[in-house]
Structure 1
């Protein structure tokens, strides 16, 4: 999920401190987990002092929230961004979200950052849960809209079913550290899409 912030050769504090903190969060929260990453690790990776950290973020929870918001604006989740590709047909975009993972075979599969954050929050981070719900609903809406573009007779049902396959694949792949899950998920999505489109008038 981006380059490691530990490689940034920058003096502690100074201009760009907020961005370095966010980059550290992006790297460490995703690879190590939120609870396993303390403020000390974040400040060390970002090359800032604890005082500078709290100038920009009043708490670690506030940083977690901003970390998630960046996936909605500046750094979209790669698989979900496939739905925006102009070089693919709507049906192809629906299948592209199930593409095999990029990176080496030894890379640990971490799954969806929103899902991970909600699980780690265990009901104690309501704003994180709200952000995740908003993101997941927006993703389902995009699937439904793309299904309608593809010509599905019931795009609402198809979109929601594809969301279940996608989210389930992400969770299972992360739990088992098994990239094969995405190949299986794509085959299931292809079968579902074929049925949904063959039922459309004129097909």
Structure 2
């Protein structure tokens, strides 16, 4: 009798969240371009009408997915807001190995690669996040007293992105450790005591 009285999920409630959760799982498992809107609707589960009411185009869905990753703090960049870490610890935490297999790399790089037209909304959003990464790194390198915080931030951003891509392609956590060692060397060289 208890099984018959279990609450039913109301249609129309939480549809957007279910769509984004389904998109996240499918995009991660099979890639963005290989995932159809129909697959997302079926996995959510929502009607196509509901899916298109929330996300009129595939670009809208992908941008919504990426935006949700940012807002939820589920990307590496979520470490920037950790107040329990020093600026240097926040930077080095960007090279932490993920706790799952296979290694997925950076969702923004993945999205930009799957939407190569720089004018596409997805590519533009991904590029915006990469610029944001450099800006946040500049804030931290400034706090560390780096001699040229903007240049150091760009160097660190290249290391972060390169490590994410290489570790994903090789499914090898050691890539992240090598990049972390290079980041430590850059930080030490750029923040050493100023001549007195």
How far the C-alpha of 1:40 sits from its partner, in A, is: 2.1
- Equivalent residue of 2:59, what SS? helix
C-alpha distance in 1 between matches for 2:63 and 2:164: 21
Query: Which structure has the greater CA radius of gyration?
Result: 2
Given candidates 187, 194, 199, the residue that maps to 2:188 is 194
How far the C-alpha of 1:185 sits from its partner, in A, is: 0.8
Partner of 1:94: 91
Q: TM-score, normalization: structure 2? A: 0.89
Partner of 2:103: 109
- Equivalent residue of 2:191, what SS? helix
Correspondences of 1:105-184 after superposition (within 5 Å): 107-123=101-117, 126-184=120-178
C-alpha distance in 1 between matches for 2:24 and 2:165: 19
Given candidates 7, 12, 15, the residue that maps to 2:13 is 15
Q: CA RMSD in A?
A: 2.0
Q: How many residue pairs were aligned?
A: 190
C-alpha distance in 2 between matches for 1:115 and 1:155: 24
1:36-66 Cα deviation digits (max 9, x unpaired)? 1112221121011222212222122211111
C-alpha distance in 2 between matches for 1:119 and 1:174: 14
Given candidates 25, 40, 43, the residue that maps to 1:42 is 40
Shift in alpha-carbon separation, 1:124–1:148, aligned structure 2, 3 A: closer
How far the C-alpha of 1:120 sits from its partner, in A, is: 0.8
C-alpha distance in 2 between matches for 1:192 and 1:198: 10
Retained in 1: the 8 A contact 2:69–2:75?
Answer: no
Structure 1 runs not aligned, ≥5 long: 1-8
Asked if 1:63 is matched to 2:61, the reply is yes
Query: Runs of 4+ in structure 1 displaced over 4 angstroms?
Result: 9-12
Structure 2 runs not aligned, ≥5 long: 1-6
